Amino acid sequence: MDGIHVDMPVRHDWALDEIEALFDRPFMDLLARAHAVHASNHDPNAVQVSTLLSIKTGGCPEDCAYCPQAQRYHTGVEAQKLMGVDDVLERARAAKAAGATRFCMGAAWRGPRDRDIPKVAAMVREVKALGMETCATLGLLGEGHAQQLKDAGLDYYNHNLDTSPDYYGEIIHTREFGDRLDTLRDIRAAGLKTCCGGIVGMGETRAQRAGLLQALANLPEHPQSVPINQLVRVPGTPLEHTKELDPFEFVRTIAVARIVMPKSIVRLSAGRQQMSDELQALCFFAGAGSIFMGEKLLTTGNPDVEHDHALFRRLDLHPMQIEADAHEAGTVHANVPKTANADVDA
């Protein structure tokens, strides 16, 4: 394709103005380039399917301005105790039957206490035994937590940077950007795969969306999974009345994420219920290669499973199969078409 380098190396030294220049490209050029990068590194007709379960809902002491689970906002989400293993397992079986290959367990904690870890580890062990990939998102991890979860069979840990370093203080006051980086370091050190992305549509500027992607791409390793969430504007949260982002700007964000982290799987994450099928198709074209399937995300809605199955059929998409030990960023072998350049990894 004219002027498009699809064999671009995996870089960790992105300058902000380079990423802004990608955002500023003509929309069609940007999409063509993103799709070329996507098709060179992944099967563009395969979509990884994950299902989320809130294993501990509400009552969170943090003040994340987007979150319906923060105790201090009046969103109607009632605080619940940590679910039992059997109930979690029942939900994981249903997710597997609906076509999910990864099960992601989320808790509305600032971070787990030491005594919570064995309980989550038991869930991880049982879900793993079903033959699913496992993911957990429990907040900031303490000493030894990542390793204990890894030992139980956890594959991925989700911990988002959420927004650019210079907008973070507008959105969250109860922790700092650097705290998130520390937990991401612990996740990598334990040998867990990283799922790390952010939210767009929180009133940030384009430069700040670029800043989020710069922070993600310049991590010591690209996250294997990069969820791009569109803000779900939940009544009762401080961001309830935030101006809606132009949907094409959301597509641009997916496309730029695709280009700057070419080996990672970019997830079209929260916000799909508010999107048309056509907009989602554009996101898949721009490089999204994963979704959450299931009627609920954590506390908010998601498209019906039947609707998603029909969308896959209409777009000739197929669910990505689990690949044994092939998800390291830069080594997503099984889905790489023959055109991919083998020496692109850093």
Residue 77 tokens, joined: 């989400």
Q: How far is the CB of 272 from ligand SF4 (least distance, A)?
A: 19
Nearer to ligand SF4, 142 or 153 (CB): 142
196 is catalytic: no
Q: Applying CB under 6 A, which part among 11-19, 65-73, 94-102, 187-195 lies near ligand SAM? A: 65-73
Is 219 an interacting residue with respect to ligand SF4 (CB under 6 A)? no
Taking the C-alpha atoms of residue 135 and residue 90, their distance in angstroms, rounded to an integer, is 16
User: Which residue in the set 231, 283, 286, 317 belongs to the binding site for ligand SAM (CB under 6 A)?
Assistant: 231
Report the phi/psi class of residue 139: left, alpha or beta, with left for phi > 0 and alpha for psi in -120 to 50.
left
Of the residues 33, 104, 209, 272, which is catalytic?
104
Q: How far is the CB of 308 from ligand DTB (least distance, A)?
A: 16
- Residue 217 phi, psi (nearest 5): -70, -25
Binds 299: which of ligand DTB, ligand SAM, ligand SF4, none (CB < 5-8 Å by kind) = ligand DTB
Is 137 an interacting residue with respect to ligand SAM (CB under 6 A)? yes
135 is catalytic: yes
Taking the C-alpha atoms of residue 213 and residue 291, their distance in angstroms, rounded to an integer, is 19
Say if residues 134 and 89 touch (Cβ distance below 8 Å): no
Is 53 an interacting residue with respect to ligand SAM (CB under 6 A)? no
Q: Which of residues 102-121 bind ligand SAM (CB under 6 A)?
A: 106, 108-109
Q: What is the residue-wise DSSP string for 24-92?
A: TS-HHHHHHHHHHHHHHHS-TTEEEEEEEEEEE-S-B----TT-TTBTTS-SSPPP-PPPPHHHHHHHH
Say if residues 23 and 267 touch (Cβ distance below 8 Å): no
Q: Which of residues 37-96 bind ligand SF4 (CB under 6 A)?
A: 60, 62, 64, 67, 69-70
Task: List interacting residues with ligand DTB (CB under 6 A).
Answer: 52, 68, 106, 137, 158, 160, 197, 227, 229, 232, 269-270, 297-300
Q: How far is the CB of 62 from ligand SF4 (least distance, A)?
A: 4
Q: How far is the CB of 332 from ligand SAM (least distance, A)?
A: 23
Taking the C-alpha atoms of residue 207 and residue 19, their distance in angstroms, rounded to an integer, is 9
Residue 166 tokens, joined: 């210079």
Residue 91 is which amino acid?
A: R
Is 294 an interacting residue with respect to ligand SAM (CB under 6 A)? no
Of the residues 33, 91, 102, 195, which is catalytic?
195
Taking the C-alpha atoms of residue 146 and residue 3, their distance in angstroms, rounded to an integer, is 43
Binds 70: which of ligand SAM, ligand DTB, ligand SF4, none (CB < 5-8 Å by kind) = ligand SF4
323 DSSP assignment: -
- Residue 74 phi, psi (nearest 5): -100, 90
Q: How far is the CB of 174 from ligand SF4 (least distance, A)?
A: 8
Q: Applying CB under 6 A, which part among 12-20, 66-74, 211-219, 285-293 lies near ligand SAM? A: 66-74
Is 204 an interacting residue with respect to ligand SF4 (CB under 6 A)? no
Binds 159: which of ligand SAM, ligand DTB, ligand SF4, none (CB < 5-8 Å by kind) = ligand SAM
Say if residues 264 and 224 touch (Cβ distance below 8 Å): yes
Residue 60 tokens, joined: 């969170």
60 is catalytic: yes
User: 3-class DSSP state for residue 302?
Assistant: coil
Taking the C-alpha atoms of residue 83 and residue 53, their distance in angstroms, rounded to an integer, is 10
Taking the C-alpha atoms of residue 75 and residue 42, their distance in angstroms, rounded to an integer, is 39
283 is catalytic: no
Residues catalogued as catalytic:
60, 64, 67, 104, 135, 195, 267
Give residues in contact with ligand SF4 (CB under 6 A): 60, 62, 64, 67, 69-70, 108, 110, 139
Binding site for ligand SAM (CB under 6 A): 66-67, 69, 106, 108-109, 137, 139, 159-160, 162, 199, 229, 231-232, 234, 270, 298
